[in-house]
Amino acid sequence: MNSRKVIAIDGYASSGKSTLAKMLSRHYHLLFIDSGALYRGVTLFALEKGFLKENELDQKAFSGALKGLSLRLEPDTGDLYLNGENVSQKIRFPRVSDHVSTIAALSVVREFLLLQQRQMAHENGLVMDGRDIGTVVFPNADHKFFFTARPEVRAQRRYEELKAQGQETTFKEVLNNLIHRDQTDSCREVAPLRKSDDAIEIDTSEVTTNQVFAHLIEKIEAK
Ligand code: DC
């Protein structure tokens, strides 16, 4: 496969996008970018700097501060640096998950990150996962996939991941957060979560990671 190929994976929260995107990136020696991490980074910034307090956002001050924000994804480790600090763990905290969809719905945030995402594919190909990669960020991507899975299956996976990290949460909390985010992400005005007409839909509810991987490779090679 050409080293400048772009593979776009969109879909619902915790449907397996990042796991499969990472596997594809290794297989094809392409850069892997988890675009959700960027939105989480901006959300953490809004929370830590006090622009977002008790569900109230000071949008004017936040928009101004965004200009000075430096977000860097380390290509080898996938670690996210926010103004020089490694925030890879912090961005997964429930506090960030609870607010990320609100922040991601702001056009000022999407414009800020759109530019950065496109620049990442400037020199080399990549595999990027998110919500609007095949529809907005890379509408001309060489391969597009759209992941779905039943909410309970997705919540169970996410719950187990969070528990393994020692985070305190319940299955119900995780499920509610996923349902809420899916709803907000799908209904927003700017770049909503939706399947691109030319994307291949993949339901990961009843299949193993390796089965999905084999299926994706088959589709990519057949094109
Ligand atoms: O992939 P994730 O669940 O970590 O993403 C966190 C949130 O970021 C998600 O609920 C919506 C937002 N997001 C987005 O709006 N567009 C993207 N391309 C990626 C993520």
In the predicted structure, residue 122 carries a pLDDT above the cut 80: no
Give the contacts of 196 (CB within 8 A, at least 6 positions apart): 8, 10, 134, 135, 139, 144, 146
In the predicted structure, residue 123 carries a pLDDT above the cut 80: no
Which of ligand 1's atoms lies nearest the C-alpha of 133? Answer: 18
What's the CA-to-centroid distance between 63 and ligand 1, angstroms? 19
Neighbouring C-beta atoms of residue 115, cutoff 10 Å: 8
pLDDT digits (tens, 9 = 90+) for 61-115: 999 999 999 999 998 899 999 999 999 999 999 899 999 999 999 999 999 999 9
The pTM for the full model equals 0.95
Distance CA 8, CA 127 (A): 6
In the predicted structure, residue 129 carries a pLDDT above the cut 70: yes
| Residue 101, ligand 1, Cβ within 6 A | yes
Distance CA 203, CA 3 (A): 27
pLDDT band, residue 2 (cuts 50/70/90): low
Protein residue whose Cα sits closest to atom 3 of ligand 1 = 13
| Residue 21, ligand 1, Cβ within 6 A | no
Distance CA 12, CA 154 (A): 9
pLDDT at position 1 is 65
Q: Is the CB of residue 198 less than 8 Å from the CB of residue 144?
A: yes
